[in-house]
Structure 1
Amino acid sequence: MANKHAIGIDLGTTYSCVAIWEERNSRAEIIHNDQGNRTTPSFVAFTDSQRLVGDAAKNQASTNPTNTVFDAKRLIGRKYSDPVIENDLKLWPFKVVADAEDKPKIVVNYKGQEKELTPEEISSMILTKMKDIAVAFLESPVTDAVVTVPAYFSHSQRKATKDAGTIAGLNVMRIINEPTAAALAYGLQKKPNCVEKRNVFVFDLGGGTLDVSLLTIKGGTYQVKATAGDTHLGGEDFDNRMAKRILSFLVGGSSRIPKVQKLLQSFFPGKELCKSINPDEAVAYGAAVQAYMINNGQGGNDSKTLKNLVLMDVTPLSLGTSIKGDLMSVLIPRNTPIPAKKKGTYFTDSDDQPTVCVDVYEGERLRASENNMLGLFSFDVPPAPRGFPIYICFDVNEDGILSVSAEEKLTGKKQEITINNGTGRFSAKEVAKMIEEAEMLKDEDEKYKERVKAKNALDECVYKVKKAIKDGNFFSKVSAMDKQRIMAAIREAREMVNNDGVEQGETYQYKKCLMELQSVTNEIMGKINSDYEEGDNED
């Protein structure tokens, strides 16, 4: 092969798998580990003499439980205070503590000394093991890889996974979603020459996560239409529930559980479940395909099988920024194909405003504060009247990682933020609940939206009226009575705008106040114009 090798890695909660695309046979090859197994336990153990990874680590877990680490995927990219971790701590035999930044650290005893390790470090050890398996098989160095993650993995979890790859000495060319990779395996193994459009529902229930995605496949184009999931639901959770009742455990891929298959069959009556694809290997298979394509260009040298293959994934949640009234202004809606780049124009709220705070949210609620804040930064702007434009750009790359920039054209100043590992985020369960609540509370959101619109309209009217009467000759043209009336109307409107205690149901108060201010203003302006016209006629 002219180009260097690129591998696909399924970094799983309980088991991991590595594959390579073989041009000669036009298929992905799942690589056996040194024990002859096609999957490797995602376990790392520490003893008085050595560190163990994979099968060797899992085999001694019962005799060395406090120093045998697993489930690193459930820790990576999360904060220690995350409720998900708090619940898992009760189930893990190893010790987990919080560092000064509320990040989890795993405590083990290695060679007689206590050592604290991050989830990224543990994951990097598993990735290193997968890389070593590939190197032994290929008999040549490997640095490039595509690594898969659950579709609902957060920005911080994706970044942390890339960091783990870097620690492992890998160039992680792409992070792709597990169900998308599985769909590639299905399309290439089952119906590689089919040109008709097919709708495919991927149900990926692993050891620790659940992902479901709806895709359309037409020819070589794989387009994800929608995705959902739970990053904390898998076979291990079934094991834990069963263990509480009968002190037993389940064996085998979670999607092979007959009850799970029965539930799926009843949900899709008349549709045949595709069970011929090995669920333990499908994700790694798809990752290997993607790795080959990135490393060798579209289709590479294997033009027969991969020539027209196109993969289009989506964002799991809407991304946006807050605007006046705590409204969420969405720039990239959920299920938007990635990579995606969207721009929006926003305006300053006051005259000579020195800075603009750009905050970044993800979620489906109308109120920005009820979504999850991913990050924020302050952006200096030159002195200018209210309404000075700021251009904000959201850019989601192929890995699903977000960058946000703000720019003003007057001086050409630009500032950017990339959402990083330190950013907090909702758990998958909270995300699902957030979407559900958004649907349930849609009416409430609409009422709030109307209230904010009415308040902003009143505020804008006050601003324009005050600006108009700044004319030094204005008050010389009106009677003392009219002057008192317009100043009283402005004062009442200003108090109404500044009154944050007005309830949602009192939108009419803003509208009523606006009508009164407009009525007084129009009447007085009408008098001025009338007097002006009469003066012209006399001349």
Structure 2
Amino acid sequence: MSVVGIDVGFQNCYIAVARSGGIETIANEYSDRCTPACVSLASKNRMIGNAAKSQIITNFKNTVHGFKKFHGRAFDDPFIQAERPKLPYSLHKLANGTTGIKVRYLDEDKVFTVEQITGMLLTKLKETSESALKKPVVDCVISVPSFFTDAERRSVFDATQIAGLNCLRLINDTTAVALAYGIYKQDLPTPEERPRNVVFVDMGHSSFQVSITAFHKGKLKVLATAFDPYLGGRNFDEALVDYFCEEFKGKYKLNVRDNPRAVLRLYQECEKLKKLMSANSSDLPLNIECFMNDIDVSSRMNRLHFEEMCAQYLMRVEIPLKSALEQSKLSRDDICAVEIVGGATRIPAIKERIAKFFCKDISTTLNADEAVARGCALQCAILSPAFKVREFSITDVVPFPITMRWKSPTEDGLGECEVFSKNHAAPFSKVITFHKREPFDLEAFYSNPQELPYSDHRIGFFSVQNVVPQPDGDSSKVKVKVRVNIHGIFSVSGASLIEKQKGEGEDMQTDTEPVVQNESRAEEQVGLLLPQSLLTSTGFIQKCHTVISYGTPWLNHPNRLTLMLEDTEKWLYEDGEDQPKQVYEEKLDALMRLGQPIQDRHREHEDRPRAFEELGKKLQLYMKFVDSYKQKDERFLHLSAEEMSTVEKCVTESMGWMNSKMNAQSKLALTQDPVVKVADMIAKIQELEDICNPVINRPKPTVEEAPEVNDQTSGAHNGPTAKQGGAEGKREAKGSQQTKPGTKEMEVD
């Protein structure tokens, strides 16, 4: 199995893969490690990446680029409306109010969602990975800006599913960079020592992000994040474009803004000029042939003039730096290093301002373009069972404070509580305890809309059903579990009704619980909030309630089995004390018809990961054997090419089967019957062993013992005796079988 990390940028994408030798950045079919985030649709086909970028000018109305920040945004969002005049293609309002992209494709006018366009791009990146690795790619980790909100993250996650990828984590850009930096460090302090505090500054084409991270040996903890979502390299490009548009209007009488192709060409040339000015302080020329109306244009620009033009943007650099430092409660003396990544950090004026603010020389030890993708690949290797990586824990933060508000139908007024503060540790779960007599509604929203780079501060609406008073008429205790998961997505993952204990009269109390290690499993196991003592001492049967989310297809957890259990329990202790055996059997059969499938699905859910892991280990073992044979390993030269072809075919088909089943299973809800059962995987393992083991375990043929001769020195000329050779061959064959199966060992020192 292969695991990849993908940095999906505003302008370009990078793919990194974890291999047994370390982390490697993959090149595409153009031998370029950078793939443009661009999709071009035409009358007969579609092009993605480098081929699409070449169509930006010739097919500008149907070539989509710069769509990363459209995720999760409504068409009427002020940001969308501000971007529309700058775009050569058209945006369209979808029926649900979100933003669609209108193009001419296959001789028809079509509107695609942002998720579909991103899904096309991710599909291309997946194909590039598979082409380079010669193996199927399913598991991945994908980067997102640290300031992305819940809706934006959900939108990106949906795009990964469209592309057929199993996204193990959406990781923040700067967190990925911190991981790529810290995991290789051998001199990090122990937990008892003062942490090493490092600032990571990432300015890409469209945004500016800062995080301050504390490192201990085998551990990183993000202390604070700050950002300017609208400051990046494209602002400096736009400043140059505006300048030259005005100059050409007076010098050549050309109204450049009226010609989309001319504007696109000018953007391309200004971006090249900006990069040249980062390396040269002298006057540099700008020449464009047949720019517009068959007129050649030319001009000049130097770094000093450029910095004067961009003063308004350069002034904004220090604001996130100052904000992050204040949030972390550190002084400049506490900062050990300042690492910069991102293409726009190559601008000298930006580097000078960062260095001046922290009073330190900035470090460029990381690859400015590839660091995010490499960190994503490392995180994917850590999360994947197919690799063994040095233990390294990651604690991220919640970028914006989140508040819960609640209301019951008969209550006056609203109650609310901030459940996650800014820079709260993530992933993290909390249990909120309510005292209610009736169903009630919950609303989650970001606490400070004015600080949010997003027009809608709402996260979701949730409804807790079937809440009833206690038998004595008093309020019931309802525990609601909320969490920010590994993707940075907020959810109300469960609600349960428990018997009120004496001495509790509060209206609401909040308890915290540690995040369990397996995040996805913790989220799926709804309704495990009752203390075991209550279950055993009172015989109380827990009620799980339906949770419905605004704008998100949530799973419904019926109360049908619970109600049947309650009814059966009441019957058992009232009318069922003295009934014929047949009546008990009928009651039991009715419960089993409803409960057994649920129990079976739960058992399959518990055992399936181990079965998948075991199958993956077998595949890795046999694939390693095939690779050794192809490399002419002398231990396997006694095997025929036909036998090895059979083994390789079996392994390839089994790997494809496993990946397809994993992909299909990941799309199912827990309440649906699995597409693959543990028994199927055990059968597949047995099939693999039946085909591969006879070949792998076949020892080298023994050499017949030569007749004894009188020459005592013949042994020195002829090598070891036949008996010795046979024993060595057997030991060698046995050794080949003792290759450790299972997880890959990746050297990251």
- TM above 0.5, yes or no, is yes
Contact 2:418 2:447 in 1 (8 A): no
Query: Which residue of 2 is the match for residue 23 of structure 1?
Result: 20
The alpha carbon displacement at 1:177 in A equals: 0.6
Contact 2:183 2:218 in 1 (8 A): no
Structure 1 counterpart of 2:351, from 261, 267, 271: 261
Contact 1:150 1:210 in 2 (8 A): no
The alpha carbon displacement at 1:57 in A equals: 0.8
Query: Which residue of 2 is the match for residue 234 of structure 1?
Result: 232
Q: Please give the per-residue CA displacement for 1:419-441, whole angstroms capped at 9, x wherever unaligned.
A: 75699xxxxxxxxxxxxxxxxxx
Contact 1:332 1:342 in 2 (8 A): no
Matched, 1:118 2:249: no
CA distance 1:378–1:420, change in 2 (3 Å): closer
The alpha carbon displacement at 1:373 in A equals: 2.4
Query: Which residue of 2 is the match for residue 8 of structure 1?
Result: 5
CA distance 1:365–1:413, change in 2 (3 Å): same
The alpha carbon displacement at 1:357 in A equals: 1.7
Structure 2 counterpart of 1:321, from 404, 415, 440: 404
The alpha carbon displacement at 1:345 in A equals: 2.1
The alpha carbon displacement at 1:364 in A equals: 4.1
Q: 383-392 or 98-107: which moved more? A: 383-392
Find the aligned partners of 1:125 and 1:422 in 2 and give their Cα distance: 23
Query: Which residue of 1 is the match for residue 182 of structure 2?
Result: 187
Find the aligned partners of 1:193 and 1:296 in 2 and give their Cα distance: 27
TM-score, reference length from structure 2: 0.51
Q: Please give the per-residue CA displacement for 1:298-320, whole angstroms capped at 9, x wherever unaligned.
A: xx43xxxx422111111112223
Matched, 1:275 2:364: yes
CA distance 1:387–1:311, change in 2 (3 Å): same
Find the aligned partners of 2:239 and 2:73 in 1 and give their Cα distance: 24
Find the aligned partners of 1:227 and 1:132 in 2 and give their Cα distance: 34
Find the aligned partners of 1:244 and 1:422 in 2 and give their Cα distance: 44
Find the aligned partners of 1:361 and 1:115 in 2 and give their Cα distance: 34
Query: Which residue of 1 is the match for residue 486 of structure 2?
Result: 398
Q: Which amino acid aligns with 1:261?
A: K
Matched, 1:292 2:402: no
- For structure 1, list consecutive stretches of 5 or more residues without a partner in the other structure: 424-539
Matched, 1:58 2:53: yes
Query: Which residue of 2 is the match for residue 145 of structure 1?
Result: 140
Q: Please give the per-residue CA displacement for 1:131-150, whole angstroms capped at 9, x wherever unaligned.
A: 11111111111111111100
Find the aligned partners of 1:148 and 1:206 in 2 and give their Cα distance: 13
The alpha carbon displacement at 1:331 in A equals: 1.7
Matched, 1:333 2:421: yes
Structure 1 counterpart of 2:431, from 315, 325, 343: 343
Query: Which residue of 2 is the match for residue 81 of structure 1?
Result: 76
Structure 2 counterpart of 1:416, from 525, 540, 547: 547
CA distance 1:50–1:396, change in 2 (3 Å): same
Contact 1:403 1:417 in 2 (8 A): no
Matched, 1:245 2:224: no
Q: Which amino acid aligns with 2:197?
A: N
The alpha carbon displacement at 1:125 in A equals: 1.3
CA distance 1:421–1:356, change in 2 (3 Å): closer
Find the aligned partners of 1:420 and 1:175 in 2 and give their Cα distance: 20
Find the aligned partners of 2:458 and 2:202 in 1 and give their Cα distance: 28
Q: How is 1:143-182 mapped onto 2 (pairs within 5 angstroms)?
A: 143-182=138-177
Q: Secondary structure at the match of 2:238?
A: helix
Find the aligned partners of 1:87 and 1:13 in 2 and give their Cα distance: 17
Find the aligned partners of 2:162 and 2:136 in 1 and give their Cα distance: 16
Find the aligned partners of 1:103 and 1:217 in 2 and give their Cα distance: 40
Find the aligned partners of 1:85 and 1:421 in 2 and give their Cα distance: 22
Find the aligned partners of 1:407 and 1:232 in 2 and give their Cα distance: 43
Q: Which amino acid aligns with 1:254?
A: A
CA distance 1:54–1:408, change in 2 (3 Å): same
Find the aligned partners of 2:131 and 2:186 in 1 and give their Cα distance: 30
Q: Secondary structure at the match of 2:547?
A: strand
The alpha carbon displacement at 1:417 in A equals: 4.3
Find the aligned partners of 1:54 and 1:421 in 2 and give their Cα distance: 31
What's the % identity of the aligned pairs? Answer: 31
Query: Which residue of 1 is the match for residue 461 of structure 2?
Result: 376
Find the aligned partners of 2:545 and 2:400 in 1 and give their Cα distance: 26
Find the aligned partners of 2:221 and 2:228 in 1 and give their Cα distance: 21
Find the aligned partners of 1:242 and 1:326 in 2 and give their Cα distance: 51
Find the aligned partners of 2:72 and 2:456 in 1 and give their Cα distance: 19
CA distance 1:340–1:265, change in 2 (3 Å): same
Contact 1:223 1:311 in 2 (8 A): yes
Q: Which amino acid aligns with 2:213?
A: L
Contact 2:188 2:196 in 1 (8 A): no
Q: Which amino acid aligns with 1:378?
A: S
Contact 2:468 2:476 in 1 (8 A): no
The alpha carbon displacement at 1:378 in A equals: 3.0
Matched, 1:361 2:361: no
The alpha carbon displacement at 1:343 in A equals: 1.4
Find the aligned partners of 1:16 and 1:371 in 2 and give their Cα distance: 28
Structure 2 counterpart of 1:44, from 35, 39, 44: 39
Contact 1:181 1:286 in 2 (8 A): yes
The alpha carbon displacement at 1:158 in A equals: 1.1
Q: Please give the per-residue CA displacement for 1:389-411, whole angstroms capped at 9, x wherever unaligned.
A: 43222111111112114333257
Structure 1 counterpart of 2:496, from 404, 407, 417: 407
The alpha carbon displacement at 1:418 in A equals: 5.2
- For structure 2, list consecutive stretches of 5 or more residues without a partner in the other structure: 246-265, 276-342, 407-411, 500-541, 555-749
Query: Which residue of 2 is the match for residue 307 of structure 1?
Result: 390
The alpha carbon displacement at 1:123 in A equals: 0.7
Q: Which amino acid aligns with 1:362?
A: Y
The alpha carbon displacement at 1:371 in A equals: 9.1
CA distance 1:170–1:155, change in 2 (3 Å): same
The alpha carbon displacement at 1:212 in A equals: 1.3
Query: Which residue of 2 is the match for residue 506 of structure 1?
Result: none
Find the aligned partners of 2:475 and 2:438 in 1 and give their Cα distance: 13
The alpha carbon displacement at 1:326 in A equals: 4.9
CA distance 1:407–1:193, change in 2 (3 Å): same
Find the aligned partners of 1:233 and 1:418 in 2 and give their Cα distance: 33
Q: Please give the per-residue CA displacement for 1:260-318, whole angstroms capped at 9, x wherever unaligned.
A: 1111111111x221123222100000000011111137xx43xxxx4221111111122
Query: Which residue of 1 is the match for residue 617 of structure 2?
Result: none
Cα RMSD of the aligned pairs, angstroms, is: 2.5
CA distance 1:54–1:330, change in 2 (3 Å): same
The alpha carbon displacement at 1:100 in A equals: 1.3
Find the aligned partners of 1:179 and 1:325 in 2 and give their Cα distance: 41
